[in-house]
A = this chain, B = another copy of it.
Amino acid sequence: MADHKIDDILNRLDSDLPQALDRLLAFLRIPSISTDPAHDSDVSDAANWLADELRSLGFTAEVRETTGHPMVVASTPQGTERSLLFYGHYDVQPVDPLNLWDDPPFEPAIQDTPEGRVIRGRGASDDKGQLMTFVEACRAWKAVHGELPSGLTLLFEGEEESGSPSLIPFLEANRDELSQSLALICDTGLAADGRPAISSQLRGLVGEEIIVQAANQDLHSGSFGGLAANPIQILCNALAALKDENGRVTLPGFYDGVEELSDQLRSDWEALNFDAGEFLSRVGLKNPIGEKGRSPLEMLWNQPTAEINGITGGYTGDGFKTVLPAEARAKVSFRLTGTQDPEKIRAAFREHIQRFIPDDCSVRFHEHGGSPAAVMDTSDPAFDVAKQALSEEWGQEAVFIGMGGSIPIAGDFKQILGMDTMLIGFAKESDRIHSPNEKYDVESFVKGARSWARIIAALR
């Protein structure tokens, strides 16, 4: 394996850091919230910013329209080496509750904190900061070699935070262009103890919105209370019955396909010395919930969940209103593992809710995405090559870990494009992704870019 002037590239990344941070801050200033239609044009702006950036670097880059937000596709000429598809997303989560941000979420800044220098702002970690580590690695490569690495295709999505409705049709319509030897996704994190990691299993996700409708209008609880159905009560009853007293989800067949940990992963994960109490204490909690007899990492990575992500009904403003509301709503999601079937779980959930609806009330369901868990085949030698490159950059042994979050695209790459995926990312659990005051460590950004340079070199 040639060294591809790797030291020069790493030096170049180090010396170019101030400019690289400026580029990232410019990108973060675009409020590309994909889930909120009010931000549609911002999402487009982010796509265009990214395509312009890639073209200026020498990529062939296009913004491709979809029925939703556009895709950005960029590539370099084919070479003789293993071809790679790199994926990231340029959309970001909503920012509410806005009052909990110390600074405006779309006025990003580099801040010195007791834990080191950080890039603060919505999307700093998830996923703009992460995807730019790869772009910056390419830029440094070009500065040293005079041209970009060959055999690269880059795919950037703008709907990752809103269920990726356009992704599967886009992959299907562009199968030849996007099918490469291996996919790389940069939307994951370091191990809890800071070691570099390749995520080898990710939980899937089923999202459902429920709207329980009782009366055809809001009622006065003085006039109707005791006689008329209360949709909030119905919703609470149904959602309370989702789990039993041991924390097990009660939906029939829910655990079909959940697999016990292999001995290898069990001992790998034990070696991470994950301290659940310490992990939870960072967010003001201390007691792990969930099924009795399972380890905390098993609960986070290898066990499914049922979570209520949002609920609303009746009067929620200041003061009090003795209303019996006409409707109540909830958003519920399930994290899936092993071979759990999203559509079977969606159906079982709807059946469960339906059992609680009196015959003069009704319920509507809205589907918000569904994808199975993704479990990678780590016997591909590329995994070991990348693991070694990561170990060199970070000065400690890289590990295979699980992921509690869902990156459904890894499964889609396998099913539609026939590619395996290496999930490598540099986020930390302290990054507050999806929360106020999101940040990305400058160290993650720098070593992330250096890691990609090493991996690109090692894979050719």
Contact = CB atoms under 8 A, between A and B. Distances in A.
A242 B240 CA distance: 12
Interface stretch (A138-146, A175-183, A325-333, A410-418): A325-333
Contact of A311 (B94, B283, B314, B331): B314
A280 B220 contact: no
Contact of A285 (B36, B228, B313): B228
B321 A284 contact: no
Interface in A377-415: 403-406
B307 A225 contact: yes
Interface-central residue, A310, A312, A361, A429, by most chain B CB under 10 Å: A310
B335 A316 contact: no
Contacts of A368: 319-320
Q: What is the total number of copies of this protein in its complex?
A: 2
Given A312-B316, A322-B434, A299 B215 contact: no
A279 B316 CA distance: 27
Contacts of A229: 285, 287, 289
A250 interface: no
Interface in A308-351: 308-325, 328-331, 333, 335
A200 to B, nearest CB: 16
B360 A286 contact: yes
A207 interface: yes
A241 interface: yes
Nearest to A296: B227
A41 interface: no
A311 B228 contact: no
A15 B221 CA distance: 38
Contact residue range for chain A? 35 or more
Nearest to A279: B227
B406 A222 contact: yes
A113 interface: no
Contacts of A305: 221, 225-226
A18 interface: no
A104 interface: no
A120 to B, nearest CB: 15
A285 B300 CA distance: 43
Given A233-B243, A240-B241, A432-B217, A309 B315 contact: yes
Interface of A: 35-37, 93-94, 96-97, 100, 161-163, 203, 205, 207, 209, 214-230, 232-233, 235-237, 239-243, 276, 279-280, 283-290, 296, 299-300, 303-305, 307-325, 328-331, 333, 335, 358-361, 368-369, 403-406, 429, 432-436
14 contacts: A100-B217, A217-B283, A220-B433, A225-B307, A227-B290, A228-B280, A232-B239, A239-B240, A309-B315, A309-B322, A311-B312, A312-B312, A320-B369, A321-B331
